[in-house]
Amino acid sequence: MPNTPEKKETFYISTPIYYPSASLHIGNTYCTVAADVMARYKRQRGYDVFFLTGTDEHGQKIEDIAKKEDVTPLEFVDGIVAGIRDLWSLMNISYDRFIRTTDPAHMRSVQKIFRDLYDNGDLYKGVYKGKYCKPCESFWTETQLADGKCPDCGREVSDAEEEAYFLRLSKYQERLIELYESVPDFLQPESRKNEMLNNFLRPGLEDLCVSRTSFTWGIPVDFDEGHVVYVWIDALSNYITALGYNNNIYDGFEKYWPANVHFVGKEIVRFHAIIWPVMLWSLGLPLPEKIFGHGWLTFEGKKMSKSSGNGADPYALAEKYGVDVLRYVLLRAFPFGNDGDWSEKLLVSVINSDLANKLGNLLSRTVSMTEKYFNSRLLDDFTSDPSLDEPLISAYAETVREFDAAMERFDFQGALEAVIAQLSRANKYIDDTAPWILAKEPSNRPRLSSVLYNLLENLRLAAVLLTPFMPTAAKEIFAQIGADSEESQTSAVFGTLPAKANVRRGENLFPRIQTEE
C-alpha cells in the first residue's frame, strides 16, 4: 500500500473545540468531517491515529447566557455538549477523545500551565484597558477595530478595564517571523501565513491580556484569587491536556505530541499561529507540525453562523440525502483552504454528476452485467486486450498516486477529483469494450470476463479510496462486488479482488435526483 509507514507511526489530528451552541450548522461540521476523513485515511494506511475534538465551555458569553436562562453555566453547557456529541455521532465522526474544558483534569492542567508561564517569565501583571468582543472572546485595541466594531464579527465591542496578567507576545515576535520563514509548511495555506505576517507580526505584536477579573466562569488562577484564565489560553491547552500533559487522567503525550496537524477555521488561525506557539515555547514543548486554516462555508455570500441564523441544518440534510453523501459533498464541492458558497442546488448537482452518473452508474452496470452474463461469478480464465486494458490499469496506479499526494496536502477536493476521473475512464472503457457485443459470442467469454473483472477492480479501488469519505457506502460497494476480505477492502493494488468473487446486486446506492431543470 503506498503511503504506508514501515513501522506503526503515529498521526495526531485535532479539530477546534467548539463553543457550546444549540444551533450547529453544516459550517461547524465542515472541519470535523474533514478531520474525520483524514483520521480514517491515516488509520486505513496503518498509522496509529489520535483524533481529538471537544468543547470550549468557559467564558463570559456562557456565563451571561446561563444567567439569562436561570441555570448554572455547567447545567447550561451539559445539555448542549450532549447535542454536539449527538451531531458527531450522526456524522459518523470517529474521534478518539472528546475533551471538555470543564473537565477537572483539564482545569488542573491549565492552572499548572498558567503558573509555569508565569514562573518562566512570560506572564506579568498589569492593567488592561481596551475593547472586548464578547461573542469572539477577543481583546482589541482602538486601532484594530473596524468602524468601531469587532474586526472579526462586526459586532459591538465593550470597554474593558481591569487588573490582568499579560503574555509577553512582543518578546516572541522575531521568533515567530523566523518560524514562518524557516518552516514554510507550518501554517497553511500560504495565504494565511501572509495574513499573519502582514496584519499582526510586521505591524508589531502587543502583549496579550490573559486573565479576567470581571466574571468567574473560567479556570481560576490558583496563585491570584479573583483572576480567571483567558478562554483562549484555556482552550488552546486542550491539545496537550487531552494527552495527559500535567495530569494523569489522560495519556498519550509521549506518544502523540507534537501533533501532526491542527485543523482550524480561518478566523481562529491567529490564536493557533501566534499565541499557541508562544505558549509552547514558554513551556519548552515542541510545536505542532502544521496548522491548516480552512475557509468558511457561506450562504449567499455570507458566513454561515449561529448568530445570523443562516446555517443549513445537518440533521435535515442527512435525513434527506444521507450522511455519507453529505460528507462527500462537503469535501468535494470546495477547495478546503477557500471559502465556498453552499446551496442545496450545488449539493444536488454534485450528487448527480459524481455519485449518480459516475460511481452509481458504473456500479449498477458492472454488477448487472456480471449477474446477467456470468450468473454473478466470472471465469478465472481471462483474455486481455492490452490496447484497451493497459491504459485503464496504468491510470489506476496513477490515480492512487494522485489521490495520496492530494490527501497529504489536505486537498480533499483534488483527491476526490482523482477518484472521479478514474471512474470516468472506467465508464468510457465500458463503451470502448462493448460487453453486450462480446456477450453475443460464446468464444468471447474469457474476454468478457476480463473486461468485467477490470471494471470490478476499478469499483473496488474507488471504494477503498472513498472509505474515509463515505465509510458506509464503501462497505455497500464492497458487498455488491464481492470484496469480502480485509485485503480487498484496503489494498490499492490492481488485481486484489479474487477472480471468482461473488458479485451480488444490491440497491441503487446513488439514485439520480430529479431537478426542475
Q: Which of 13, 243, 264, 492 binds ligand ME8 (CB under 6 A)?
A: 264
Residue 127: Cβ-neighbour burial (10 angstroms; 0-12, 13-18, 19+): exposed
Distances (CA, A) of 474 to 262, 301, 363, 480: 27, 33, 12, 10
- Selected range binding ligand ME8 among 27-35, 393-401, 440-448, 464-472, rule: CB under 6 A: 27-35
State in angstroms the smallest separation of the CB of 126 from ligand ME8: 25
Q: Which of 3, 12, 16, 451 binds ligand ME8 (CB under 6 A)?
A: 16
Q: How far is CA 289 from the centre of its chain?
A: 16
Quick note: the x/- pattern for ligand ME8 over 284-303, rule CB under 6 A, is ------------xx-----x
Q: How far apart are CA 300 and CA 494, in angstroms?
A: 44
Strand 261-265, strand 290-294: pairing: parallel
- Taking the CB of residue 79, how many other CB atoms lie within 10 A of it? 11
State in angstroms the smallest separation of the CB of 267 from ligand ME8: 6
Per DSSP, 209 falls in state E
Quick note: the x/- pattern for ligand ME8 over 33-72, rule CB under 6 A, is -----------------------x----------------
Q: Which one, 47 or 292, has the nearer CB to ligand ME8?
A: 292
**267 CB contacts (<8 Å, ≥6 apart)?**
152, 296
Q: Which residues from 301-320 bind ligand ME8, rule CB under 6 A?
A: 303-305
- Selected range binding ligand ME8 among 11-19, 86-94, 180-188, 218-226, rule: CB under 6 A: 11-19
- Selected range binding ligand ME8 among 14-22, 44-52, 77-85, 321-329, rule: CB under 6 A: 14-22
Residue 96: Cβ-neighbour burial (10 angstroms; 0-12, 13-18, 19+): middle
The vertex-502 CA angle with 500 and 507, nearest 5°, equals: 145
Q: Which one, 10 or 310, has the nearer CB to ligand ME8?
A: 310
Q: Which residues from 223-262 bind ligand ME8, rule CB under 6 A?
A: 235-236, 238
Quick note: the x/- pattern for ligand ME8 over 72-111, rule CB under 6 A, is ----------------------------------------
What is the enclosing helix (H) or strand (E) of 506? none
Q: How far apart are CA 279 and CA 127, in angstroms?
A: 21
> Which residues of this chain interact with ligand ME8, rule CB under 6 A?
16-19, 27-28, 30-31, 56, 235-236, 238, 264-265, 267-268, 296-297, 303-305
